[in-house]
Structure 1
Amino acid sequence: MHLAFVTSLVPDGTLTTGYEIANAAIIDGLRRAGVQVSVVGFTWPGKQPIDPENTVVLGSVDVQTHTASAGQRLLWLGRALAEGQTFSSVKLRHTGEVRIRKALQTLEPFDGYVLNGVTLAGAYPDLFRNKPSIFVAHNVEHQSAAENAVAARSLVERLLYTREARLLKQLEAKLCKQADFVFTLAEEDRVPLGIADDRRSATLPLTTRATAFLPLSSRQPAYDLALIGTWTWQPNRIGLDWFLEQVVPQLPHSMQIKIAGRAPAGLRSDHPGVEFVGRVEDATAFVRGAKVIPLISQAGSGVQLKTIETFELGMPAVATRSSLRGIADVPENCTVADDPAAFALALTHAARLRLVDGDGRAFHAAQIKAMDRQISRGLAALPRSMQRHAA
Structure 2
Amino acid sequence: MTLPPPTTPMRIAFLTTLVPNTLRTGSEIATRAILSVLEDLGHEVTLFAYGRAPFHVASPVETVLLATIPVESATAPRREQAAWAWRSLRSGLPISSEKYNYLPPDRLEAEIARTNPDLLIVDHVNLYPFVNGLARRLPLGVIFHDVQAISYAMVAEKSARPWWRAIYAREARLNARLERRAGAEARFSLFLSEADAEEARTRFGIAAPAVLPLFFPAPPDPAPALAPAYDIGLIGTWSWPPVRQGIAWFLYEVVPRLPPDLSIAVAGSGSETLSSDRIQRLGLVPSARAFLASLRVSAVPTTAGTGVQIKTLELAATGTPAVSTPLGVRGLDGLPETITVADGPQAFADALVEAVRRPKPRAAAAGHAWNEARRDAARQTLHDALTKLG
Mark yes or no: TM-score above 0.5.
yes
Does structure 2 conserve the Cα–Cα contact (< 8 Å) formed by 1:212 and 1:364?
Answer: no
How many residue pairs get aligned? The number is 378
Partner of 2:16: 7
Write the distance in 2 (CA, Å) between the matches of 1:301 and 1:364.
20
Query: 2:241 aligned with 1:229, yes or no?
Result: no
Residue type of the alignment partner of 1:88? S
Selected match of 2:95 from 71, 74, 87: 87
Write the distance in 1 (CA, Å) between the matches of 2:275 and 2:227.
28
Write the distance in 2 (CA, Å) between the matches of 1:116 and 1:37.
13
Does structure 2 conserve the Cα–Cα contact (< 8 Å) formed by 1:291 and 1:351?
Answer: yes
Q: Report the alpha carbon displacement of residue 167 of structure 1 after superposing the two structures with TM.
A: 0.8
Does structure 1 conserve the Cα–Cα contact (< 8 Å) formed by 2:149 and 2:171?
Answer: yes
Partner of 1:111: 118
Q: CA RMSD in A?
A: 2.2
Does structure 1 conserve the Cα–Cα contact (< 8 Å) formed by 2:271 and 2:281?
Answer: no
Pairing 1:31-50 to 2, within 5 Å after superposition: 31-48=39-56, 50=58
Partner of 1:309: 314
Does structure 2 conserve the Cα–Cα contact (< 8 Å) formed by 1:92 and 1:123?
Answer: no
Q: Report the alpha carbon displacement of residue 215 of structure 1 after superposing the two structures with TM.
A: 6.0
Partner of 1:289: 294
Write the distance in 2 (CA, Å) between the matches of 1:246 and 1:53.
43
Partner of 1:355: 360
Distance 1:126 1:151, change over 3 A: farther
Does structure 1 conserve the Cα–Cα contact (< 8 Å) formed by 2:74 and 2:270?
Answer: no
Distance 1:129 1:214, change over 3 A: farther
Pairing 1:174-185 to 2, within 5 Å after superposition: 174-185=181-192
Distance 1:194 1:331, change over 3 A: same
TM-score by length of 2: 0.91
Structure 2: gaps spanning 5 or more residues: 1-9
Residue type of the alignment partner of 1:67? T
Pairing 1:133-148 to 2, within 5 Å after superposition: 133-148=140-155
3-state SS in 2 of match to 1:335: strand
Moved more, 43-52 or 249-258: 43-52
3-state SS in 2 of match to 1:190: helix
Does structure 1 conserve the Cα–Cα contact (< 8 Å) formed by 2:231 and 2:295?
Answer: yes
Write the distance in 2 (CA, Å) between the matches of 1:298 and 1:56.
36
Pairing 1:248-287 to 2, within 5 Å after superposition: 248-263=255-270, 266-271=273-278, 274-287=279-292
Selected match of 1:167 from 152, 164, 174: 174
Distance 1:160 1:57, change over 3 A: same
Which deviations, in whole Å up to 9, do the C-alpha atoms of 1:293-335 show, x marking residues without a partner? 1121111000011101111221111111101111111111222
Identity of aligned residues (%): 35
Partner of 2:81: 73
Write the distance in 1 (CA, Å) between the matches of 2:254 and 2:58.
40
Q: Report the alpha carbon displacement of residue 107 of structure 1 after superposing the two structures with TM.
A: 0.3
Partner of 1:389: none
3-state SS in 2 of match to 1:206: coil
Does structure 1 conserve the Cα–Cα contact (< 8 Å) formed by 2:150 and 2:305?
Answer: yes
3-state SS in 2 of match to 1:59: strand
Write the distance in 2 (CA, Å) between the matches of 1:281 and 1:157.
33
Write the distance in 2 (CA, Å) between the matches of 1:268 and 1:170.
36
TM-score by length of 1: 0.91
Distance 1:286 1:140, change over 3 A: same
Residue type of the alignment partner of 1:305? I
Write the distance in 2 (CA, Å) between the matches of 1:265 and 1:275.
9
Does structure 1 conserve the Cα–Cα contact (< 8 Å) formed by 2:140 and 2:187?
Answer: yes
Write the distance in 1 (CA, Å) between the matches of 2:267 and 2:32.
23
Q: Report the alpha carbon displacement of residue 197 of structure 1 after superposing the two structures with TM.
A: 9.8
Residue type of the alignment partner of 1:213? D
3-state SS in 1 of match to 2:15: strand
Pairing 1:117-128 to 2, within 5 Å after superposition: 117-128=124-135
Selected match of 1:131 from 108, 129, 138: 138
Write the distance in 1 (CA, Å) between the matches of 2:79 and 2:197.
38
Distance 1:317 1:379, change over 3 A: same
Q: Report the alpha carbon displacement of residue 126 of structure 1 after superposing the two structures with TM.
A: 3.5
Partner of 1:298: 303
3-state SS in 2 of match to 1:220: coil
Which deviations, in whole Å up to 9, do the C-alpha atoms of 1:101-131 show, x marking residues without a partner? 22123201x2111110122213444344421
Q: Report the alpha carbon displacement of residue 58 of structure 1 after superposing the two structures with TM.
A: 2.2
Query: 2:352 aligned with 1:343, yes or no?
Result: no
Write the distance in 2 (CA, Å) between the matches of 1:38 and 1:158.
39
Query: 2:248 aligned with 1:246, yes or no?
Result: no
Write the distance in 2 (CA, Å) between the matches of 1:53 and 1:209.
14
Residue type of the alignment partner of 1:259? V
Write the distance in 1 (CA, Å) between the matches of 2:152 and 2:162.
15
3-state SS in 1 of match to 2:115: coil
Residue type of the alignment partner of 2:49? G
Structure 1: gaps spanning 5 or more residues: 384-391
Partner of 2:3: none
Q: Report the alpha carbon displacement of residue 52 of structure 1 after superposing the two structures with TM.
A: 8.4
Q: Report the alpha carbon displacement of residue 265 of structure 1 after superposing the two structures with TM.
A: 6.7
Q: Report the alpha carbon displacement of residue 51 of structure 1 after superposing the two structures with TM.
A: 3.8
Partner of 1:58: 66
Residue type of the alignment partner of 2:38? L
Residue type of the alignment partner of 1:64? E
Write the distance in 2 (CA, Å) between the matches of 1:19 and 1:51.
15
